[in-house]
Each structure stands twice: as C-alpha cells, then as structure tokens.
C-alpha cells in the first residue's frame, strides 16, 4: 500500500486530503455517507467565541459555476463545540482543525487559549472577518494587520496555527509573507471570493445579505 502520510506544521496526517471549513459542518453529518477515517484532516465550520445564529435566509444561492453562501458563521460557540461535537470527531483518525472567526484580536486570542486546551490538533484563523475596532475592514486585507494578529494569536496558541488568507486583496503574496512574519505555522489558500447574484425580475440581490462568498468551479 502506498504511504500517503504528510506532515503539516509538525502534525502527521494519514493523507493530504482535508475538507474545507464550512463545507463539511462538524464532520459527523457526513459520517453515515462514508468513512471519515479516509480523510487526512477535517477543518470544522467556523467557530466564534459565543453562539451565533447566522444571517437570515436566503443565504445560499446557486450560480452557473458554483455556490454563493452568506450563512454568517452560524455555530454553537467554541465552548459548546468542545462539549458536544469534538468528542464525536475524535473517534476518527482524521486530524481535527478548529477554524476560528473573531471581530477583535482579543476574540481570536481567547479562542486560541480555549481550543489549545482541548483535543483539537490544529488551529485555523479566518482573517476574512471584519475588524470592528478598525471600522469593519477585514483583518485579511492589510499586511500590517495580518502580521500583528498572527503574532498576537501565536502567543496564545499551544497548537500549530494555520492562517486562512482572504483572496479579496490586490497582492495575496504580500499577505502570505505578512502571516509568515507573524509566525504562522502554515497557510490556507483561500477563503471564498466576494460575489453577488441578481434576480433580473426584481433587480435585487438574491441573498438577504446582498453579497456572499463564491466557491466552486468559477474559482
């Protein structure tokens, strides 16, 4: 049998196949369809410090070449994830990556501390979130901000830290280098691209939130 093991930031995966955060829920939803042990890693849907209901419907829209989603990070909160979801995931050999979403650097640091004391294998920081202390501009659109937040979260993290970059920038290489300078152990490329679907009959966006993240063949 071919050995497909890979080492990512000091963590050995059985193979390089990892499901992206948001597309796979918390994993158990798909356990009845196939053996999750066949995966190298599972990046769980985005977690916030407190429970979050997400955006109103409609929040999913099909396009000719992909899907637009504006789910709004609906999740039970990091503590409830650890209490109710993580134990089920640890029954499988796939490594567990906790995806973190916050509105402040302090949010990310607190989640990193909490999750580092749990059984997750790696942390993934979603920097496409708005920085509420800087007028709502996404963390991932400014190289200096990326370096700063990565450096601060690394101080709190006891598990390898993956920085998930936003594609909605002019020069993603500069953003990647900023994350590296901040101490990122690995990079995740990429989050979804901003997109909008218009209903030609109403001349209005299909999604309640107007825009969503585009994924699929178009990317």
Of 18, 109, 129, 156, the catalytic one is 129
Is 129 considered catalytic here?
yes
Q: Tokens at residue 99, please?
A: 């995806």
Q: What are the residues whose beta carbons fall under 8 Å from the beta carbon of 53, sequence distance 6 or more?
A: 72, 74
Q: Say if residues 151 and 185 touch (Cβ distance below 8 Å).
A: no
Q: Give the angle subtended at the CA of 130 by the CAs of 25 and 47, to the nearest 5°.
A: 25
Q: Say if residues 68 and 213 touch (Cβ distance below 8 Å).
A: yes
> Where in the sequence numbering do the catalytic residues fall?
129
């Amino acid at each position: 049998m071919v050995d497909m093991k890979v080492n990512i930031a000091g963590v050995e995966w059985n193979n390089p196949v990892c499901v992206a955060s948001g597309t796979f829920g918390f994993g158990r939803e798909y356990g009845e369809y196939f053996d999750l042990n066949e995966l190298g890693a599972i990046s769980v849907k985005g977690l916030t410090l407190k429970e979050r209901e997400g955006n109103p419907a409609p929040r999913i829209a099909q396009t000719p070449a992909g899907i637009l989603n504006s789910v709004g990070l609906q999740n039970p909160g990091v503590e409830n994830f650890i209490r109710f979801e993580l134990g089920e995931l640890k029954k499988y050999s796939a490594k567990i990556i906790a995806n973190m979403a916050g509105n402040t650097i302090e949010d990310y640091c607190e989640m990193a501390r909490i999750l580092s004391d749990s059984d997750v294998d790696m942390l993934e920081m979603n920097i496409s979130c708005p920085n509420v202390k800087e007028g709502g501009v996404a963390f991932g659109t400014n190289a200096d901000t990326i370096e700063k937040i990565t450096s601060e979260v690394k101080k709190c993290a006891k598990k390898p830290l993956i920085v998930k970059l936003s594609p909605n920038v002019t020069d993603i290489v500069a953003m990647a280098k900023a994350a590296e300078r901040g101490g990122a152990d690995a990079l995740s490329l990429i989050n979804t691209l901003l997109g909008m679907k218009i209903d030609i009959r109403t001349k209005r966006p299909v999604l309640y939130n107007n825009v969503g993240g585009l994924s699929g063949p178009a990317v």
